Structure 1
Amino acid sequence: MEVLRNDQRSQLEALYEQMEPEGLYPLWEKLSALVLPQPDSPAKVHKWSYDSARDYLMRAGDLISAKQAERRVLILENPGLGGLSSITPSLYAGLQLILPGEIAPAHRHAQCALRFVLEGEDAYTSVDGEKAVMRPFDLVLTPGGQWHDHGNPTSKPMIWLDGLDIPTVRHFDASFAEGYSEDQFPQQVPAGDSLNRYGRNMRPLKGHVADRRPAHQPLFHYPYAEWRPALDAMARGAEIDPHLGHALEFLNPVNGGPIMSTISAHVRLMPAGFETRDRRATDGTIFVVVEGQGEAVVEGETIALTPREILVVPSWKTVRFKAQSQLVLFGYSDKACQEKLNLYKEENL
């Protein structure tokens, strides 16, 4: 901004003081902070140890039940976003525990959610009365507005990563939520019904029988047993991307787009010894280490990666990955939302 004469500055300051009670402020004093030449996220690069978080989660399990808590979850709050319950400015992450015999009661809300299983098997998430039986590294969705509950009929604890668009919905002041009258929404179809109908690059031929699932969001279970072999097959036959490794995106089978309206998710495989080239993108991404050992180099900072650790790389931070052994990552971000708003940008360096 041009340097002003002392008398001009003093008169402007007096004007600002008179305007402030009426909620009026000079854009020319704030423009450079409002319209940035490039992203400058307040979120910080951060990694969470699964073992440490699991210990706290199990201790919480001794003190409060899933029903008392409604959702027994530890929030992964970004150290640069204190008090906002956010892992990036637009996304939320948490670790949820369901102990043997517990039910997390049925509710629904405007927010879209994904569950990425980290520990345990044969517990379930039920969506509108259909169960998805969960196993390690399965991806399960609970799209906005759909009734869902969780249950664990097994003898071992079940832990997964929750990823939601809570901050996005909060930004638009569009949050609605309600609880169901019973702990569980009544079962409507056998477990896996939607996966059988939509999960193999096919869909029911349209006829006189109406489909019970929402037309825009029929599939909500993406099993590890299916996506992991697909990554291996790609690695055997495809040329590797120098910035991503071998990467596959989870899709909505109806339109070939992202899994939900505000959240995208993908998986990557990097062979032992492979190092990606630097890359940055506007979608701050939450990564989970599925298998292997390696490193992430974010803005020059080297971060060791081991299984089940969770790493957040904020918007427009330069990142590359080094695989010491074969490294498999899961990631989710707000890319789906940004693309709809024509905001998404990436740069391969």
Structure 2
Amino acid sequence: MAVPEKVKPEDAQKYYDTADSIGLKPGWMQGEGQPLPEMEPFLWRWNEVEPLVLKSGELVTPDRDVERRTLRLATPGLDRGTTHTITAALQLLLPGECAPAHRHTPTAIRWVLQGQGAYTTVEGDKCYMEPGDLVLTPSWTWHDHNNEGDEPMIWLDGLDVPLVRYLRANFYEAFPEDQQPIVGVAESEKRFASGAMRPAWEDTNVPYSPLWHYKWDKTYDALQKLAEIDASPFDDVAMEFSDPVTGGPVLRTMTCWAQLIRPGICTRAHRQTSCAVYQVYKGQGYSVIDGQRFDWNEGDFFVVPPWVWHEHANDSTDEAILFSIQDIPVMKDMALYREEAYPENAGHQPVTSQFKG
């Protein structure tokens, strides 16, 4: 920005320093119509993460003091959260353990990574968890986790805590007992899992999906069927988990996707005002994020900040499947969502560096 000739550069700098010292920021010093970067793309390798998750079982126990045994995916550039709107963390529950019942205003999802025998109870509905399952615990719903199996369970937690905290709406309440009463098993599935039909006598008027539990076998089948007929040039075979009543996203503040990246596919680059946290559920490949190449393998996690170019590729002979948590719903509800395709080189960015970690 040009400084008028009547103001010497040293005087201008003194002005800015004085303004900064009393907490003032000149509006004309902001960026030219582009979001300012607050976080960096980053990747966490499962072969480094898993041992620490398992080791955490020797350090703490989920009880009324600890509540949840979790390790947060901490993105460089952010003090809290994995993005500015989403916190993602790995949770471990050992055989015989109970993560006690509570509820909170932040909304949460659970994406199951490994193990058998655990369940989450949501508002009295017992949901058995298996790898690839998505379990919702919407805002202010009672929920607890229990492992009645004989092996450790690990899942990915995704919560809108940074957004709720920023809005000063973060509330919490503990249930009187460690476990809430179970009133049914897989009831939400029996009512709504068909996706095309629902109980005729019920007026389901809640601001989230009444289906708590999305099973992996149905997710995988849906991806395979869509792959037979269509795909996105930017995301390949991408499907959004949906509310069976509204057809929209499962939650008001976050949406969840499953993406099949077929062998040999390299998607075109685009950017969005939304952000995303990815988990590589199956296979291997790479993503180019703002010119930086991120090679990923099964189990890895990576984050895509808002308004950065990104594309995905599968250079193997086997399919790759990505799960993601994105904040698209809140951006759309606030009329702030926008998307732009990369305009050059047939939609592919030049690779200028490679992530080393």
Is 2:125 aligned against 1:130?
A: yes
Change (3 A) 1:204 1:18: closer
TM score, norm. by length of structure 1: 0.90
Count of matched residue positions in the alignment of Structure 1 and Structure 2: 337
What does residue 335 of structure 1 align with?
328
Q: Distance in 2 between matches of 1:7 and 1:279?
A: 43
**Equivalent runs, 1:96-135 vs 2, <5 Å:** 96-135=91-130
What does residue 299 of structure 1 align with?
290
**Equivalent runs, 1:49-198 vs 2, <5 Å:** 49-67=45-63, 68-81=65-78, 83-84=79-80, 86-188=81-183, 190-198=184-192
Shift in Å at residue 111 of structure 1? 0.1
1:86-117 CA-partner distances (Å, limit 9, x unpaired): 11111101000000000000000000001100
Is 2:10 aligned against 1:3?
A: no
Change (3 A) 1:299 1:204: same
What does residue 266 of structure 1 align with?
257
Identity across matched positions, percent: 35
What does residue 309 of structure 2 align with?
318
> Is the CA contact (8 Å cut-off) linking 2:209 and 2:242 kept in structure 1?
no
Q: Distance in 2 between matches of 1:297 and 1:8?
A: 40
Is 2:215 aligned against 1:227?
A: no
> Is the CA contact (8 Å cut-off) linking 2:208 and 2:250 kept in structure 1?
no
2:220 is paired with a residue whose SS is helix
Q: Distance in 1 between matches of 2:292 and 2:13?
A: 44
Task: Give the unaligned 5+ runs of structure 1.
Answer: none
1:41 is paired with a residue whose SS is coil
Shift in Å at residue 348 of structure 1? 2.1
Q: Distance in 2 between matches of 1:12 and 1:299?
A: 32
Shift in Å at residue 227 of structure 1? 0.7
> Is the CA contact (8 Å cut-off) linking 2:113 and 2:132 kept in structure 1?
yes
Q: Distance in 1 between matches of 2:16 and 2:76?
A: 38
What does residue 351 of structure 2 align with?
none
Task: Work out which of the residue numbers 36, 45, 54 in structure 1 matches 2:41.
Answer: 45
1:51 is paired with a residue whose SS is helix
Shift in Å at residue 149 of structure 1? 0.3
Q: Distance in 2 between matches of 1:235 and 1:293?
A: 18
Task: Work out which of the residue numbers 15, 20, 27 in structure 2 matches 1:30.
Answer: 27
Is 2:274 aligned against 1:283?
A: yes
Change (3 A) 1:304 1:182: same
**Given residue 57 of structure 1, which amino acid in structure 2 is its aligned partner?**
V
> Is the CA contact (8 Å cut-off) linking 1:110 and 1:177 kept in structure 2?
yes
Shift in Å at residue 311 of structure 1? 0.7
Change (3 A) 1:303 1:143: same
> Is the CA contact (8 Å cut-off) linking 1:216 and 1:254 kept in structure 2?
no
TM score, norm. by length of structure 2: 0.88
